[in-house]
Structure 1
Amino acid sequence: MIDKASPIPIYFQIQELIRKKIGQGEWKTGEAIPSERVLSETFEVSRMTVRQAVQGLVDEGILTRKRGSGTFVSEQKVEQPLDGRMSFTRLMEERGMKASSKIVTFMEREAAPHEMEALKLRTPANILHIERIRYGDDIPIVFETIATPAAMAEGLTEEELNHSFYQFLERKKGLRLGKGSQTIEAVAASARLAKLLKVDPGSPVLSIERVTALADGTPFEYVKAQYAGSRFKFYM
């Protein structure tokens, strides 16, 4: 509980207790937290102190105020280093979340000019064209459009793709993955993307275009990944 003799500000102690309740699952995403009156009685502090603590968590995005309804636990964003290369599956596992995917498109076709340029294909060639939604704990996080040389992806099944494309290349193909380059921009969700990610049309989306290469420098993947801005963030 609150230690009023501690040099740690009371509002900060309240914030830590709220974080703990959320972290332990006592207060779940989307649920309303107790009112300021109830919290002030529970912690035996003034409503002004509770309001200061709650507002700080709202500013951090941990809580969300809804006019006329109360204060709710926000969707907690998944964090990933902007300059890191880590499979989505591993990223979810490291955060104690269950990774899953839904394949929207899985087909071989001729590479478009911009895909040939990105993958450094000098002559017309086929690619494996993939569209998939990736989930963390059954919540849609990102919609990916992937182009990879068909010859390199030979033998890849939808089942293996649902687990990890990178693991398929490393374990089944014996390939060593190298570095990638990417660009990032903020865009608004189209009607189709909003439906796939279960967000409102026009919602903020982090759109990343990435080319990843093998250890020898050969590009093997051209991806456009569109992340729900309310559920994901990058840091440096």
Structure 2
Amino acid sequence: MRPSSSSPVPLYLQIADTLRDRIARGVWRDGDLIPTLEQIAGEFEVARVTARQAVQLLTVEGALKPMRGRGTYVSAPCAAYQPVHVVTSLDALAETYRNTTPELLTIDEHRRMPAVREQDGTLAGAYTYMRRVHSMGGAPYCVIGLYLEDRLFARSRARFRKETVIPILMEMRPRPMTRAHQTLTIGSADADTAYLLRIPVDAPVARVQRVFNDAAGVIVYYADVVYRGDAVNLEMDLDV
């Protein structure tokens, strides 16, 4: 993608984002020799100094490594996780978690009330809040802040603390939710999320908000999930 001189983002940052994306997608793999500064400058139609700034930025980040007299090599393998497919049913969502078995790192747990919209439903008396990082093969792909109604959490504390929550809820009888809704929006990473996902600040992310309600409209589960932009794959069949 050719950088835009009309964008408020400096040209070298636009080029660095494109090069970083090539590494993330495996176009450039760990140990590959990347094009010269002259070749990069020619591809993006910029001055050589601009290409050098982009390469230097990725070098500082550790994604590239210059070798004197030999060129610059990729020093960061592409992500080890598989893309997360956006699904449109609760059963499919639970199956996704069952099939991936992510590595969980809980970085916070306490009682806390979620900030929700009126149309999301009625709040229960208390919730257990957990903030987690999900990874595959040691590569973090999402940060999730979830609120689980306290009485549900009490039914299986040990499992909720070490496993993904949605498959456990799906196994409960009777099933505690009768309505489920999720919203996907595109945004950019703040400093904290960028640190946890090992991505640059303002890198693209996909934010998914999920709300599960019981028969009375009470929110039994609320989650705010932030995925790396390169970890989400949205596919839809179009009618023809």
Same fold per superposition (TM over 0.5): yes
| Equivalent residue number for residue 230 of structure 2 | 230
Q: Tell me the residue number matched to 2:39.
A: none
Cα separation, 2, equivalents of 1:215 and 1:136 = 35
Contact 1:119 1:221 in 2 (8 A): no
Q: Could you say which residue in structure 2 is the equivalent of 1:12? A: none
State the 1:35 CA deviation.
Answer: 8.8
Gaps of 5+ in 1: 1-26, 37-65
SS in 1 for 2:199: coil
Aligned length: 177
Rounded to whole Å, the distance in 2 between the matches of 1:158 and 1:177 is: 21
1:81 to 76, 81, 86: 86
Percent identity of equivalent pairs: 13
Post-superposition offset of 1:176: 5.6
1:108 aligns with 2:107: no
Residues 115 and 222 in structure 1, CA contact (< 8 A), matched pair in contact too: no
Q: Is the 8 A contact 1:130 1:147 kept in 2?
A: yes
- Name the residue aligned to 2:162: 162
Q: Which amino acid aligns with 1:100?
A: E
| Matches of 1:82 and 1:141, distance apart in 2 | 17
Q: Which residue of 1 aligns with 2:195?
A: 195
| Aligned with 1:120 (options 109, 119, 122) | 122
Task: Give how far 1:33 is off.
Answer: 5.2
Corresponding letter in the other structure for 2:122: K
TM-score (norm 2): 0.58
Corresponding residue of 2:61? none
Deviations for 1:20-53, whole angstroms, at most 9, x for unmatched residues? xxxxxxx9994245899xxxxxxxxxxxxxxxxx
Q: What is the CA distance between 1:180 and its match in structure 2? A: 1.9
Post-superposition offset of 1:209:
1.2
In structure 2, the gaps of 5 or more residues are 1-25, 36-63
2-structure distance, mates of 1:106, 1:29: 39
Which one has a larger percent strand, Structure 1 or Structure 2? 1
- Shift in alpha-carbon separation, 1:142–1:161, aligned structure 2, 3 A: same
Give the structure-1-normalised TM-score: 0.59
How far is the alpha carbon of 1:206 from its aligned partner?
0.3
SS of the residue corresponding to residue 201 of structure 2 reads coil
Give the direction of change, closer, same or farther, for the CA distance of 1:222–1:139 in structure 2 (3 Å limit): same
